[in-house]
Amino acid sequence: MDTYFPGHGDARYRVHRYELALDYRPGPNRLGGTARLSAVAGTEPLREFALDLAEFRIGRILVDGRPAHYTHRAGKLRIRPAKALAAGAAFTVEVHYTGNPKPVRSQWGGLGWEELTDGALVASQPVGAPSWYPCNDRPADKASYQISITTPSPYTVIVGGRLLTRTTRASSTTWVYEQAAPTSSYLVTVSIGAYETLRVTDPAAGAEPLRRVPQTAYLPTPLMPRFTHDFGRQPQMMHLFEELFGPYPFGEYAVVVADEELDVPFEAQGVSTFGTNHLDGVRGSERLVAHELAHQWFGNSVTIADWRHIWLNEGFAKYAEWLWAERSGGRTAAQHAATAHAKLAALPQDLRLADPGKKLMFDDRLYERGGLTVHALRCALGQEAFFRMVKDWTAIHRHGVVSTADLVAHAGRYTDRRLDTLLNAWLWQGPLPPLPVAT
């Protein structure tokens, strides 16, 4: 179980595929449909197992095609198959459900399905996925997805992955997306709105799509001019990050600008979502464009085993901001590190980066100290070895699951010097270590 959210997920089995066939009506905010999960039992027979699902009305539940007994309380759907499942057995679960989706309450506010003025979006990190579909809600249980959503035809539906079909019948349109890459439940997103579609192109390539990775934007028509400027360097970011981190790990990348202001942008598998407030016409949020794109490598492809390792996502994404600035004519990573170090030195020294606790897992200090820790590794390893280490990290663990211990062991292979003292100070001690400098 996840150490910060022990009530979420069920480690007794693993899901390898979700197939969701949903219908959503924005006016009454009504969602319904069928979720079919293909899973494998663990090392013990399964007489009962659990899914995470918010307060929906359950129509029926089938396990391997046979009706199953269930209880549904406090966001937990406990299912008892007609016959116990053997250890290691493959099985399917089919859940029919309807209701009015709403965010899951948390200390960070509502998480998951959010009804907008005209449409909806999903922002699930860390535990909002059960707000709209039944799932094994723990980051380590990654699966492929096929998601079909039917909604009134004026709306555009965006889901992470490849659009397979779009079929219109009468006044409704069904959008079918496939995400073949293993995906954590919190990284599945949906955006529904009256959006225009824009291909994001590389200015150096004229009107041609970006060299290898199809990039698409979805946004309200009036925001087109600002978007074109503010996200104009995203193709160059993609080129840089492929150079530094290795090949982009998915088949496509989409950006959604929701027709609402959002406190912060957020990433999902193959998609990043921004608010209208992140477009100002002067690239004031460009560091966030880099940050969310970098998460496709750090967090989405290379995924944390549980939430105490969150710094692995945010530290590398923060450092990617500094690398983009360094390579695009702005301040160097060392200058950003110095600024972050001075900022942290003036704040409380009670954050343990490698296990910050649930209360501090999204604290601003975790992001800054995470970036500084990555910079400390760069200084200790040297330029060439550091970037070789990073590219190997994303290649070896592509679509996998990692921990802090995995990174420590991995980094140690790229130097003759011992990193124990350095990394222990940055990862496990509260007091801020000295500013890292290249030797």
Q: Is 314 labelled a binding residue?
A: yes
Catalytic residue among 114, 178, 267, 292: 292
User: 419: which 2 tokens?
Assistant: 């990193």
Alpha carbon of residue 235 to chain centroid: 20
Catalytic residue among 195, 253, 367, 414: 367
The 3-state secondary structure of the chain reads CCCCCCCCCCCCEEEEEEEEEEEEECCCCEEEEEEEEEEEECCCCECCEEEECCCCEEEEEEECCEECEEEEECCEEEEECCCCECCCCEEEEEEEEEECCCCECCCCCCEEEEEECCEEEEECCCCCHHHCCCECCCCCCCEEEEEEEEEECCCEEEECCEEEEEEEECCEEEEEEEEEEEECHHHCCEEEECCEEEECECHHHCCCECCCCCEEEEECHHHHHHHHHHCCCHHHHHHHHHHHHCCCCCCCEEEEECCCCCCCCEEECCEEEECHHHCCCCCCCHHHHHHHHHCCCECCCEEECCHHHCHHHHHHHHHHHHHHHHHCCCCCHHHHHHHHHHHHHCCCCCCCCCCCCHHHCCCHHHHHHHHHHHHHHHHHHCHHHHHHHHHHHHHHCCCCEECHHHHHHHHHHHCCCCCHHHHHHHHHCCCCCCCCCCC
Q: Is 291 labelled a binding residue?
A: yes
367 in active site:
yes
Are 26 and 192 contacting, i.e. CB atoms less than 8 angstroms apart?
Answer: yes
Residues 6+ apart with CB under 8 A from 338: 435
User: Binding site membership: which residues?
Assistant: 291, 295, 314
Catalytic positions: 292, 367
User: Binding site membership for Zn(2+): which residues?
Assistant: 291, 295, 314
